């Protein structure tokens, strides 16, 4: 979680204590002040990343301190005004003098956290959320990113659909010396079939930029040949490509030309599916909540412990994409209370409806769509037969030996709990 500093200025001890406790539980570093004089002392010690400032205080009101901060610190941190006597005029006046937002008391945890997360969006949340967690797997991923960021060699990132391969590439870029430059992202639909070697289309106007080629094996052979030719002439910068398997495997089945397989075979990183680090579910959920509250202005909600435990037992065939869809759907309900197990269960059914799945599948290359469908198909059949492999083989019309191989290739454990 972020370690942003927050200064809370309020003359009521109970409010200072409550706000401090809530924000510290979220991982923020919080200092408090009972009036404008104490606030000035705190500001001299260290500048905060955000100030929560009560309007009505004895001796000196919050509006006066707001004006002073804007005059002396030149917008170095946002200030959110708070008041138990909120009126439209008060809110308008505070924003006119530079307040970033206005919070009306009594404060609720949801209202407070929503405002704070909107004021302190983490620029790396879009990538870090994919790799949140304390498991050995999550830690190893972050270590791999730090190591890969130090290199300029062509990099290939592979993993199942929805695991966050492109986000991992962007995370590596953010850690590299090229972080101050835009990353050029190429996808199969945007690549013209007549791409030529003298084309600079999408390859970055700066020679030292990072180029990300998403799902390179889904591009036509002519496009791949043109890419290989362009990359053979390119000097400087970094090229990263993604796919669902290793370059050598893609070359063996004829979907990736050998020059590209050789180029991207030098440095290869694997992004595991969620089911391989399921213990990170609480952290992944919180990271997705933080991101969507800050970047999509959605209402803050947390997952109850029982809901988190329930979601640990889910196999997440759609990986981070499915988890993100779940969080967005639940936050869009505009409720304040914690998300219950039943609500999470119903939301999963909703986002995994046939229409939602069809939309998701139609966005994928045929090979990935087939694999995603097969995973869902066999998981549902396993549940319907209570994990009985003989019945599953009969229902699927497959021999058991072939069925075991298929389940293994899809990452499905045939030993599952019986239906409850």
Q: Of the candidates 318, 295, 359, which has an alpha carbon nearest to the alpha carbon of residue 114?
A: 295
Q: Could you tell me if 91 and 199 lie in one domain? A: no
Q: What is the pLDDT of residue 358?
A: 64
Tally of structural domains, the chain: 3
Residues 164 and 235 in one domain: yes
Per-residue model confidence (pLDDT) at position 121: 59
Predicted pLDDT at 393: 85
Tell me if 351 is assigned to some domain: no
**CATH number of the domain where residue 377 is located:** 1.10.10.60
Residues 113 and 156 in one domain: no
Instruction: Return mean pLDDT, the chain.
Output: 83
Question: 124 in a domain, yes or no?
Answer: no
Q: What is the CATH number of the domain that holds 96?
A: 3.40.50.2300
- Asked if residue 37 lies in contact with residue 59, where contact means CB atoms within 8 angstroms, the answer is yes
Instruction: Assign 191 to helix, strand or coil.
Output: coil
Residue identified by tokens 């967005």 is 328
Name the token pair of 150.
């130090």
Tell whether 356 is covered by a domain. no
Extract the tokens encoding 264. Answer: 């991207």
| Last residue of one domain, picked from the residues 254, 271, 288 | 271
The boundaries of the domain holding residue 55 are: 5-119
Do both 176 and 244 map to the same domain?
yes
- Going by pLDDT thresholds of 50, 70 and 90, the confidence category of residue 415 is low
Question: Are 92 and 196 in a shared domain?
Answer: no
Mean pLDDT (whole number) for 342-361 = 76
User: Do 114 and 157 reside in the same domain of the chain?
Assistant: no
Bond preceding residue 106 cis, omega within 30 of 0: yes
What are the tens digits of pLDDT across the range 58-116?
A: 889 999 999 999 888 877 888 999 987 655 566 667 777 888 888 888 888 878 888 88
Identify whether residues 95 and 177 lie together within a single domain: no
Q: Which residues lie closer than 8 Å to 156 by C-beta, 6 or more apart?
A: 240, 241, 242, 243, 246, 247, 264, 265, 267, 268, 269
Highest mean pLDDT among 96-110, 118-132, 136-150: 136-150
Q: In DSSP terms, which residues pair with 53 in a beta bridge?
A: 9, 81
Instruction: Select from 239, 271, 303 the last residue of a domain.
Output: 271
Give residue-wise pLDDT tens across range 204-262. Answer: 445 567 888 988 998 888 889 988 988 888 777 889 999 999 999 999 989 999 999 99
CA dist 194 and 99 (Å) reads 53
Please indicate, yes or no, whether residues 184 and 245 belong to a single structural domain of this protein. Answer: yes
| CATH assignment of the domain containing 186 | 3.40.50.300
- Does one domain contain both 239 and 189? yes
In a domain, 41, yes or no: yes
Does residue 249 share a domain with residue 173? Answer: yes
CA 220: distance to chain centroid? 30
User: What does 131-162 look like in DSSP terms, one character per residue?
Assistant: G--SSHHHHHHHHHHHHHHT--S-EEEEESTT
Reduced to 3 states, what is the DSSP secondary structure of residue 187? coil
What phi and psi values does residue 363 have, to the nearest 5 degrees?
A: -85, -5
Do 327 and 288 form a contact (C-beta atoms < 8 A)? yes
Q: Which of 271, 304, 332 is the last residue in one of the domains? A: 271
- Retrieve residue 223's tokens: 């496009």
Q: Is 244 within a domain?
A: yes
Residues 18 and 63 in one domain: yes
Are 219 and 172 found together in one domain? yes
Residue 176 belongs to a domain:
yes
- On whether residue 78 sits in a domain, the answer given is yes
Separation CA 76–CA 70 (nearest Å): 8
- Position 196 pLDDT exceeds 50: no
Is residue 289 a part of any domain in this protein? Answer: no
**SS3 call for 108:** coil
Scanning the structure block, which residue is given the tokens 């002396």? 72
Whether 84 and 56 have beta carbons less than 8 Å apart is answered as yes
């Amino acid at each position: 979680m972020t370690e942003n500093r927050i200064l809370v200025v309020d003359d009521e001890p109970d409010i200072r204590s409550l706000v401090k406790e809530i924000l510290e539980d979220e991982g923020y570093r919080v200092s408090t002040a009972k009036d404008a004089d104490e606030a000035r002392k705190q500001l001299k010690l260290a500048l905060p990343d955000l100030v929560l400032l009560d309007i009505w205080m004895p001796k000196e009101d919050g509006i006066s301190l707001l004006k002073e901060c804007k005059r002396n610190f030149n917008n170095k941190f946002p200030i959110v005004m708070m008041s138990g006597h909120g009126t439209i005029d008060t809110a308008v006046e505070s924003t006119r003098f530079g307040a970033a937002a206005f919070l009306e008391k009594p404060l609720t945890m949801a209202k407070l956290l929503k405002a704070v997360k909107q004021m302190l969006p983490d620029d790396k949340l879009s990538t870090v959320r994919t790799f949140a967690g304390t498991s050995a797997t999550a830690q190893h991923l972050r270590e791999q990113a730090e190591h890969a960021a130090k290199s300029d060699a062509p990099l290939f990132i592979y993993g199942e659909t929805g695991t966050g391969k492109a986000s991992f590439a962007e995370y590596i870029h953010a850690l590299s010396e090229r972080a101050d430059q835009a990353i050029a992202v190429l996808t199969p639909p945007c690549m013209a079939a007549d791409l030529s070697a003298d084309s600079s289309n999408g390859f970055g106007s700066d020679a030292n930029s990072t180029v990300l080629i998403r799902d390179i094996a889904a591009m036509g052979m002519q496009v791949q040949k043109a890419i290989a030719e362009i990359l053979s002439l390119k000097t400087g910068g970094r090229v990263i490509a993604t796919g669902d398997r290793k370059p050598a495997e893609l070359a063996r089945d004829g979907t990736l030309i050998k020059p590209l397989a050789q180029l991207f075979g030098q440095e290869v990183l694997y992004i595991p599916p969620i089911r391989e680090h399921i213990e990170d579910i609480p952290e992944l959920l919180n990271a997705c909540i933080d991101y969507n509250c800050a970047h999509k202005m959605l209402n803050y909600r947390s997952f109850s412990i029982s809901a988190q435990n329930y979601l640990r037992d889910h196999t997440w065939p759609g990986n981070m994409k499915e988890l993100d869809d779940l969080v967005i759907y639940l936050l869009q309900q505009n409720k304040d209370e914690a998300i219950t197990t039943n609500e999470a269960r119903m939301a999963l059914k909703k986002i995994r409806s046939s229409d939602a799945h069809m939309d998701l599948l139609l966005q994928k290359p045929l090979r990935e769509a087939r694999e995603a469908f097969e995973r869902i198909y066999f998981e549902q059949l396993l549940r319907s037969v209570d994990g009985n492999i003989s019945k599953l083989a009969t229902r699927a019309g497959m021999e058991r030996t072939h069925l075991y191989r298929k389940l293994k290739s899809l990452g499905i454990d045939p030993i599952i709990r019986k239906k409850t």
